[in-house]
Each structure stands twice: as C-alpha cells, then as structure tokens.
Amino acid sequence: MIDLYTWTTPNGRKVSIMLEELGIDYNVHAIDISKDEQFDPEFLKIAPNNRIPAIVDHDTGIQMMETGAIMLYLAEKHDRFLPKGDERWPAIEWLMWQMGGIGPMLGQVHHFVKYNAGKSAYAEERYSNEAKRLYGVLDRRLEGRDFVAGAGRGEYSITDMSIWPWVSRFDWQQIDLSEFPNVRDWYVRIAERPAVQRGYQVPKYVTDVPMP
Ligand SMILES: N[C@@H](CCC(=O)N[C@@H](CS)C(=O)NCC(=O)O)C(=O)O
C-alpha cells in the first residue's frame, strides 16, 4: 500500500493521476501548504525539501520526494506508462523538460501574474514570455501526435501525466489555448480520462477540471 502526501497543486496532481491510472489502492494525507504543513517535522522526514508531493511505499520500504523520481518509480514498479526500447529515453527527456522548464517557469507565472500582479513588471513579462515559449515548444512537439512520447502518434505516459496538470492552469497563466491547437486537443483528450478526472480531485475538490 502507498501513502501519498499531497495537496491540490499541479505537482500533487501528477502523482494522484498516476495512482488513479494504475488503479491501485492508496492512502491520501493532505498537506495543506497554505498552512505551512509542509514544514511539519514528521513530513520533513519523508520530504526534506519541504515540498509536496511525497510517497511512502510500504510494499518496498521506499519513501520518495520529487515527482520526476516518483513518476519513474511508479512506472517501473508497475511496468506501465513508460514507453519501451528506443522510445524510453525521449519519454524521459520530455519528462525532464517538464521538471526543468514547464514546472518551474509556470510556477513563477502563478506567483507573479496571478497572485502578485503589479509587483514586478519585469518578472511578469519574463515569465509570461517564457510560458508562451514553452507552450509553443509543446505545440510543435504535439504536431501529428496524440501524446508527447512514444512511437507513431505516441502513447499515453507519465510524461503526459506530468505536463498536463501544469497546462490545466492555462487560465491562471493567461494562456489562450486556441493559439496552441495541438496543446488544446491533447489537453482535452487527457482531461476526458476518468482517472484524470478522479486524480484531479485529490486530496479534495476545489474546482471541476478546467476546460478550454
Ligand atoms: N521539484 C518538486 C517541486 C515540488 C513543489 O514545488 N511543490 C509545491 C506545490 S506544487 C510545494 O510544495 N510548495 C510549497 C512551498 O513552496 O513551500 C517536485 O517535482 O516534486
């Protein structure tokens, strides 16, 4: 059984979507980051970087922070949602693009554009431009594909599950998805999956899954 420590954020939802896609039982522990619960000493024993999400897998004794590692761990443990052979490394490549680009940059857009508009014109412009650049990169990657990684038109994988929750905040990022039609179609394709609908509501309901 897996214990998932999480909150209603893009990084948290990556892992709850994966667990729902795997269809395995797991316990959810809400770590309310608006109340600084990520600094609780008990949580820090699992996640020393004081960020959600984290997991404890009681089947293997492994505890883990950092969603890139968690998604790879779950994919390998269950032998699902990670393309094989020649397609494996491109899937990891685009997963790392999410970890190093989409996540940190869109996170800054949320800080400066949504929550602190007017405090720094420089930061708003820099991160908004970076967001548009990244959406453009994703749009070009999805040209002729249904999913980000995998052969042919692609196969649904942890790479999609990791990028998708960040794109689900397109509204916060003031991104018009009609400017990125491949991203919009991919976003809707994934949003319609029942496991994604369920995983989005972990650890609690905040809104319906946003639709463009
Ligand atoms: N690189 C980390 C990032 C995790 C992260 O930034 N989590 C945010 C929520 S999306 C958080 O816990 N923020 C709490 C804080 O800033 O103190 C991962 O992918 O797991």
Domain boundary among 26, 48, 81: 81
* Count of structural domains within the chain: 2
pLDDT, one tens digit per residue, over 6-23 is: 999 999 999 999 999 999
pLDDT of residue 47: 97
Same domain for 189 and 97 = yes
- 116 is a domain residue: yes
pLDDT of residue 11: 98
Low-confidence ranges of the chain (pLDDT < 50): none
Those residues whose C-beta lies under 8 Å from the C-beta of residue 124, and which sit 6 or more positions away, are 112, 113, 117
Same domain for 180 and 97 = yes
Residue nearest to atom 2 of ligand 1 (CA): 66
Those residues whose C-beta lies under 8 Å from the C-beta of residue 24, and which sit 6 or more positions away, are 2, 78
pTM exceeding the 0.95 threshold for the entire prediction: yes
- 91 is a domain residue: yes
Pocket lining: 9 vs ligand 1, CB cutoff 6 Å: yes
Instruction: Determine the 3-state secondary structure of 17 from DSSP.
Output: helix
- Domain assignment of residue 73, given as a range: 2-81
Same domain for 139 and 44 = no
* Cα 111 to Cα 48, 104, 114, distances in angstroms: 23, 11, 6
pLDDT, one tens digit per residue, over 188-197 is: 999 999 999 9
pLDDT of residue 201: 98
Q: Which of 29, 31, 51 most suits a substitution to test ligand 1, by most atoms within 8 Å of the C-beta? A: 51
Pocket lining: 162 vs ligand 1, CB cutoff 6 Å: no
Residue nearest to atom 14 of ligand 1 (CA): 51
Same domain for 130 and 66 = no
Same domain for 50 and 20 = yes
Domain boundary among 51, 81, 111: 81
Residue nearest to atom 4 of ligand 1 (CA): 51
pLDDT of residue 92: 98
pLDDT of residue 75: 98
Pocket lining: 137 vs ligand 1, CB cutoff 6 Å: no
Same domain for 106 and 15 = no
Instruction: Determine the 3-state secondary structure of 115 from DSSP.
Output: helix
CA 76 to centroid of ligand 1, rounded, Å: 23
pLDDT of residue 83: 98
pLDDT, one tens digit per residue, over 88-122 is: 999 999 999 999 999 999 999 999 999 999 999 99
Pocket lining: 66 vs ligand 1, CB cutoff 6 Å: yes
- 18 is a domain residue: yes
* CATH code, 183: 1.20.1050.10
Strands 62-65 and 54-57, bridge-based pairing:
antiparallel
Same domain for 125 and 36 = no
- DSSP class of residue 100 equals I
Q: Which of 8, 11, 32, 35 most suits a substitution to test ligand 1, by most atoms within 8 Å of the C-beta? A: 11
- 15 is a domain residue: yes
Residue nearest to atom 1 of ligand 1 (CA): 66
Specify the ligand 1 atom closest to the Cα of 12. Answer: 10
Same domain for 28 and 114 = no
CA 71 to centroid of ligand 1, rounded, Å: 15
